[in-house]
Chains A and B, each alone.
Chain A
Amino acid sequence: MNSHSFVDPRQTTPLLADEVVRLTDVHRRFRETVALDGISLSVRKGEIIGIIGRSGAGKSTLIRCLNGLERPDSGEIAIEGTRIDRLTESQLQPLRRRIGMIFQHFNLLSAKTVEANVALPLKIEGLAKAERLARAREMLDLVGLSDKAAAYPAQLSGGQKQRVGIARALAARPALLLSDEATSALDPETTRSILSLLKEINHKLGLTIILITHEMDVVRSIADRVAVIDAGRIVETGPVQSIFANPEAPITRRLLEGSRPRLPEHLVDRLRSDASRLVLGVDVSGDYAQRQLFTDLVDAFRQGANLVQGGVEHIQDRPMARIFLTLPAQDASLVEQVKFRLAAANARVEVLNHV
């Protein structure tokens, strides 16, 4: 491997050529609270990785460790091959210019115009005024806010403020963009437009993006890969489709609940062990989910099965079905037959009780 030239000699494992971020066994605690409990993670160039977890799971601490706003107690953090975990504040400053960051509450300076906000990272870098204003205009163009250059942040909507935040984060041509709950304060429609802007920037500039969120929908719509964090540990990581198709950790399932079809409330309330109809939850992905799944169930529907909730959706480009069926409980052979067929197609079948 010819990449050893820029690897810190203290680095325990050789860095991959296109690795932008590497965390090795990172720990951080605040008094008695453990925020990070041995995080190891590697992020490749051009990738969008979603780090998801409930509030208090440690994701904010994690993302703040990546630009040195927070310091780990132990472990290694390398950005583009440079170890940053032991650097002083003034050594970190030039490195931070390689990392853009956007925030939940935008954090735009209220006393500066939109243009001056976007140009600020370049002012810090020491660029001449004409040069930084030209670059700021270019960035505002990219996020579609050229006409707001002279406005003040208070005059903008939430979505526009976040676009300015993105323009500012990208002004200094960073290698990495950190997104700290960037859409959590926005309404669903604005969230979608901000996410598609991030996706577009990722494509256009090949920019690596790490986003932390508590919303599975955010991960689903733009991330390539997801890492689920709980109590300071990464409990599950992998491509978004496979996490959605086969969530293994209980926390992942719980986080997924919000963004997947679920059993209607009135049926959940009636779930009992002695009722006449058995409720099944079925998850299956791939082409099977679009057609064969339903032809396999035709006989069952003829014999009294009901589809009570669910359907097919796409996670990135992969179809994925999640359906809830009820079957007459006394018809044991029908129940067995349905379970057998679905299991043969690698579907995950969950028996939920009776209604």
Chain B
Amino acid sequence: MSDVMIELLISATWETLLMTFAAGFISLLAGLPLGLALVLTGKSGLCENLWANRILGSVINAFRSVPFIILLVALIPLTRFIVGTALGTWAAIVPLAIAATPYYARIAEVSLREVDRGLIEAVRAMGGNRWTIIREVLIPESLPGIVAGFTVTLVTLVGASAMAGAIGAGGLGDLAIRYGYQRFETGVMIAVVIVLIIMVCAIQWIGDRAVERLDRRQSTV
């Protein structure tokens, strides 16, 4: 592989990392409150409101059902409004974050819902209000699941960012399509796949270690 290729590979890796982590970070900030809202407004939740729950759930489902490549194009006006341009790596972060947010909201919802109701009852019994329950029970008790779900979201984003090449965002997927696939440069294709495998394994490994450290539910004497 030529020096030019290696340089391309390095900048593509950087672009993928940027898209994955920036979109992941936004989806964490937006998805966690949404997941929390789903649990709180759900049946026998702390702020039960089945209408709000149904509407929120439908909106989340709608966003999740649109194929990412369609979303990417459909969101161009919004992207242009937020970033100022509809092209490039930063422009791709907007649709990626918007696609990942409902995805992560559902994952967070599952973890939050799994918190033992007895714990919520115990804190209610000691005079805790809703906010106390969210802060002292729901979030800390589901933190291992929240982090594990965030890891899954990041890995999914690594894959989704490949499609962002369609709006000139660059990244490893784009490199693989343009050089590896369209120009039959097998070496580039293999190099990209290896970098992607290493990236995904590293994200998963870091996520797993974090979950291990956070999870106090099992005895670790």
Would you call B125 and A99 a contact (CB within 8 A)?
Answer: yes
**Within B94-135, which residues are at the interface with A (CB < 8 Å)?**
116, 118-119, 121-129, 132
**Interface size, chain A (Cβ < 8 Å):** 34
Which residues of the other chain, A, contact B118 by a CB distance below 8 angstroms?
103, 105, 107
Q: Which of A109, A121, A178 contacts B127 (CB 8 A)?
A: A121
Minimum distance in angstroms from A127 CB to a CB of chain B: 13
Q: List A93-114 residues whose CB lies under 8 Å from chain B.
A: 93-97, 99-101, 103, 105, 107-112
Q: Type the 1/0 row for B208-221, where 1 means its CB is closer than 8 Å to any CB of A.
A: 00000010111111
A residues less than 8 Å from B132 (CB atoms): 124
Task: Give B166-221 interface residues, CB cut-off 8 Å to A.
Answer: 214, 216-221
Instruction: Give the nearest-CB partner of B122 in chain A.
Output: A107
* Residues from 22 to 69 in A contacting B, C-beta threshold 8 Å: 67, 69
B216 A152 Cβ-Cβ under 8 A: yes
Chain A's closest residue to B117 (CB) is: A107
Q: Which residues 80-133 of A sit at the B interface, judged by CB distance below 8 A?
A: 89-90, 92-97, 99-101, 103, 105, 107-112, 120-121, 123-125
Q: B218–A154 contact, CB under 8 A?
A: yes
Query: Does B220 lie within 8 Å of A155, measured CB to CB?
Result: yes
Q: Does A167 contact B (CB under 8 A)?
A: no
With A103-B118, A154-B216, A155-B220 already in contact, the answer to whether A109 and B124 are too (CB < 8 A) is no
- B144 nearest in chain A by CB position: A111
B127: chain A residues at CB < 8 Å are 92-97, 121, 124-125, 172
Contact residues in B for A69 (Cβ distance below 8 Å): 121, 124-125
Asked whether B137 is an interface residue with its Cβ less than 8 Å from the other chain, the reply is yes
| Known A107-B119, A111-B141; contact A121-B126, beta-carbon cutoff 8 A | yes
List the B residue with the shortest CB-CB distance to A117: B122
Q: Judging by beta carbons under 8 Å apart, are B136 and A120 in contact?
A: yes
Q: Which residues of A contact B143 (CB under 8 A)?
A: 111
Q: Is B140 an interface residue (CB 8 A)?
A: yes
The answer to whether B121 and A111 have CB atoms under 8 Å apart is no
Does B140 contact A101, Cβ atoms closer than 8 Å? Answer: no
Within 8 A of A (CB), among B124-164: 124-129, 132, 136-137, 140-141, 143
Complex interface: chain B residues within 8 A of A93 (CB)? 127-129
B143's nearest neighbour on chain A, judged by CB, is A111
When the two chains form their complex, are residues A154 and B217 in contact, meaning their CB atoms are under 8 A apart? yes
Most-contacted residue by chain A among B116, B122, B132, B221 (CB, 10 A): B122
A107-B122, A111-B143 given. 12 additional CB < 8 A pairs?
A69-B124, A69-B125, A89-B129, A107-B116, A107-B118, A107-B121, A108-B119, A109-B122, A112-B136, A124-B128, A125-B127, A154-B216
Q: List 12 A-B contacts (CB under 8 A).
A: A69-B121, A69-B125, A90-B129, A96-B125, A97-B127, A107-B122, A109-B119, A121-B126, A121-B127, A124-B132, A172-B126, A172-B127
B residues contacting A by CB (< 8 A) are 116, 118-119, 121-129, 132, 136-137, 140-141, 143, 214, 216-221
Shortest Cβ-Cβ A-B pairs, 6 listed: A107-B122, A111-B140, A96-B127, A97-B127, A121-B126, A107-B118
